[in-house]
A and B are shown apart, each in its own frame.
Chain A
Amino acid sequence: MISLKNSLKAGAIAGVLWGWLCYLANFVSGVFPFEGSFAQNFITFSFGGAVFGVVTGGLLAVVGRFLPFRKTVFRAVFISAALWVVLRLAGDFLSMMEPERYHLVKPETVQGFFLALALGAILGLLLKKDERATAGNARA
């Protein structure tokens, strides 16, 4: 079982890496033309990614054991995708209430969903590595 503390730490690292991946993915795809400078985006994507990563890691530690997957990677991908879907559905709701303020763009949505899957994969792989290291230490 993953401890909450370790999961939050792994989430923070995975989140920062994922933030950079988000920047790179959008730079390559060109789905959204960046409005901020590289320096500003480097900081905001790192910070935003860390926040999303920590929350995903925390949820994985809290509810991960109830999921019907044995592998940590699948659990992390499921939680990350589910979290994104919940936020996106709330965004749909906001868009319905205030259509002038909140607009939803399809290519950004597709990109965001795949990036959410990527966050889960990065977090799951980091935690798997951590679990292996812990098991190795216990055996030694």
Chain B
Amino acid sequence: MERTLERGGMDALIPGIVLVALAFAMVVIAFGMESIAPGVHDTLHDFRHVLGMPCH
């Protein structure tokens, strides 16, 4: 039973971690945070403008 619970927890944990990591990535992309990911501003510049997010 312990093993089943452990497995169930891991099955939910991994998608949860993926979701949190990608939510953070989404914020970095949306605002072009160069201090966190150098190059993200220029790389996703057009995408950000098309979505109506603030840019220079």
Contacts and interface: CB of A to CB of B under 8 A. Distances in A.
Contacts of A78: none
Contacts of A58: 15, 18-19, 22-23
Contact of A51 (B15, B29, B52, B54): B29
Contact of B15 (A8, A45, A110): A8
Contacts of B52: 88, 104-105, 108-113
The DSSP consensus for interface residues of chain A is: helix
A36 B45 contact: yes
A126 to B, nearest CB: 17
A111 B46 CA distance: 13
B49 to A, nearest CB: 4
Closest 8 CB pairs of A and B: A112-B52, A58-B19, A102-B54, A91-B54, A109-B52, A108-B52, A112-B51, A32-B49
